Amino acid sequence: MKKITLSIGLVAAILSTKAQDTTCTYFKGEKVYEFNYQTDEILNVTTQETRFFTIDVKDKEILCLDLSDDKKRIRKVIIVYPDGDSTTRILDSNHEIYYSPVGPITVKVGKPKLMIKL
């Protein structure tokens, strides 16, 4: 249910903006791929060595976040807004795609962790 609500909110945000660009970041295990959304050209490949990988989303941009860990894992994602407020989400990272709100924002993506259900 939360995914549906989040998706509806993101679609509304996307449709309400006039000019925007899309930044794409693909996480697969410890590897992080940044690529051009329109041409699928890989711009940068790095290894996530710190606890959180930081992505700066510029003004009127949207982040396409592709979490593709091979096993069922979760990732902690923190969205920091320009006024200093932040939102923390725990997202499934087994081949899931998420879209951020329209920037400017900073998105911090944590390392994959084992999902434990009680």
pLDDT of residue 110: 93
Inform me whether the pLDDT recorded for 22 exceeds 50: yes
Percent of the chain topping pLDDT 90: 42
Q: What is the rounded distance in angstroms from the CA atom of residue 105 to the CA atom of residue 55?
A: 9
Inform me whether the pLDDT recorded for 44 exceeds 70: yes
Nearest to 112 by CA among 46, 67, 56: 67
Q: What is the rounded distance in angstroms from the CA atom of residue 24 to the CA atom of residue 75?
A: 17
Percent of the chain topping pLDDT 70: 81
Question: How high is the mean pLDDT of the chain?
Answer: 82
Query: Domain count of the chain?
Result: 1
Task: For residue 10, give its domain range.
Answer: 2-114
Q: What is the rounded distance in angstroms from the CA atom of residue 16 to the CA atom of residue 95?
A: 28
The CATH number of residue 77's host domain is 2.60.40
pLDDT of residue 12: 54
Amino acid identity at 111: K
pLDDT, tens only, 73-113: 899 999 999 998 999 999 998 888 999 888 899 999 999 98
- Can you point out the beta strands (E) in 1-118? 21-28, 31-36, 42-47, 52-57, 61-68, 73-80, 86-92, 94-99, 105-110, 113-114
Residues whose CB is less than 8 angstroms from the CB of residue 49 and which lie 6 or more positions away in sequence, other chains included: 30
